[in-house]
Structure 1
Amino acid sequence: MQIAIVDDHPLFLDGLTALLTRIDQSFEITAFACGADLLASIDTADPAPALVISDLSMKPINGLALLSALRAKGFEQPFILVSGVDETLSEAELQASGAFAFVPKSADLPTLREVIFAALDTGSTSGSGGKTFKSGGGRNGSSDYQVTTLTPRQLEIMRIIVDGGTNRDIAGQLKISENTVKTHLRQIFQVLGVNKRTSCISKARSLGLI
């Protein structure tokens, strides 16, 4: 199974290559230091990669621009965006880009494994009969799968909640306002599909987030 990874940070390229090998030794990984190198290889690659994993913030071609350029070349395989900075993409942005999913580089190995195999399972992004992915993929309809990730700050809040911390405790430890805490909690509940703290903790544990 051919997988291409693109990142302008050599350490991340090496690290992700090692992680993917741990996930499945049958993966054949090709690493690219910039999007232009991948684009140049697409015309001659045989077979083309079954999946591309790319950093979102790169120069001179960022991840979104790389995805657009690949689609223009007729590349229809799944594309996963990753980022190491405190940023994310909304569902609308993912749908518009055609990316399969966005995954923070802080995600753990089980989460990365889940996303990768789900992406590989879809095959061609233009094919029919595939599942609908709420976190990306550009498909319409009801979702039967959702890639669940939390930002580093949201994970900090979850750990405090697990220890029995109140909103005031969270605000004090993280030096943010209680209103900000409430905003984060609403976002966490929405991501996990829950409406109370006990369910939130249970769901986060079941997904291996905490």
Structure 2
Amino acid sequence: MIRVFVVAASPVVRAGLSAVVATSSKLTVVGSASDLDTFTKEFEQLQPDVVLLDVSGHFQELVWEKLLSSQQPYPFAIIILTDELDSINFEAALRAGVRSILPSISTESEIVAAVEAIALGLVVLHSDTIESVLPFKESSVREKDTSPVVQALTPREIEVLQMLGSGLGNKAIAKRLNISEHTVKFHVSSIFQKLSVSTRTEAVTVGVRLGLIML
């Protein structure tokens, strides 16, 4: 069961988001708060896996200030709901530990899917945010151009890694690329070795962080 804590200034929004989370049998709401300070006081006792943050108006500025001031990585995944996508510094957000940024108008199914995905270590961005993230992705690739990890991955391996990020199995990848399943297994094994990971989730997570793929 994935443990979720809801933070929102409005009691109505908190109740609504808690109800949305409760629609999934894989999720459970362990608590809610009107601000991050209150959440911090309850964190050790509740131990959530995911923190669902609704930010709006001046509350958004307070949230970013709090998140970016942390000197250590957070022991939980963060998902942001906002009505001001244009004002978000995506690079700073991702580096601060935010693993999903969704518009406030996201559907119940989109929110639930995002919570479940980031709990598994994935990064989830709404389609409306892709254009804003592209500059970050491109700069990340340029920064990593001299990295042996990026240079080691072949174009085909990056293609396979992208399909792993889409949740495809070996058989589906083989059919999509018109290659044998044995060849897919070889590529996956090579990706694991080059990225120093042992699972598909870890490989996708590292791939996103390096700017190799975009979910």
After TM superposition, the score normalised by the length of structure 2 is 0.52
Structure 2 CA distance for aligned equivalents of residues 8 and 17 of structure 1? 13
Q: Structure 1 pair 133/52, CA: closer, same or farther in 2 (3 Å)?
A: farther
Q: State percent identity of aligned pairs.
A: 13
Could you say which residue in structure 2 is the equivalent of 1:109? 108
Deviations 1:12-55 (A, max 9, x none): 0000000100123651331101111011122x315x11011112
Residues 75-86 of structure 1 mapped to structure 2, 5 A cutoff: 75-85=74-84
Could you say which residue in structure 2 is the equivalent of 1:10? 11
Unaligned runs of 5+ in 2: 123-196
The AA in structure 1 aligned to 2:82 is S
Higher helix share: 2
**Does the 8 Å contact 2:8/2:53 carry over to 1?**
yes
Structure 2 CA distance for aligned equivalents of residues 115 and 25 of structure 1? 12
Q: Structure 1 pair 10/63, CA: closer, same or farther in 2 (3 Å)?
A: same
Structure 2 CA distance for aligned equivalents of residues 80 and 32 of structure 1? 15
Structure 1 CA distance for aligned equivalents of residues 8 and 93 of structure 2? 19
Deviations 1:141-179 (A, max 9, x none): 41252xxxxxxxxxxxxxxxxxxxxxxxxxxxxxxxxxx
Could you say which residue in structure 2 is the equivalent of 1:27? 28
CA RMSD in angstroms, aligned pairs only: 3.0
Residues 17-56 of structure 1 mapped to structure 2, 5 A cutoff: 17-24=18-25, 26-42=27-43, 44-46=44-46, 48-56=47-55
Unaligned runs of 5+ in 1: 146-210
Structure 2 CA distance for aligned equivalents of residues 33 and 116 of structure 1? 19
Structure 2 CA distance for aligned equivalents of residues 22 and 35 of structure 1? 24
Task: Quote how far apart the aligned CAs of 1:132 are.
Answer: 3.1
Deviation above 6 Å: which 4+ runs of structure 1? none
The AA in structure 1 aligned to 2:54 is D
The AA in structure 1 aligned to 2:109 is P
Larger relative CO (CA 8 A, sep 6+): 1 or 2?
Answer: 2
The AA in structure 2 aligned to 1:18 is A
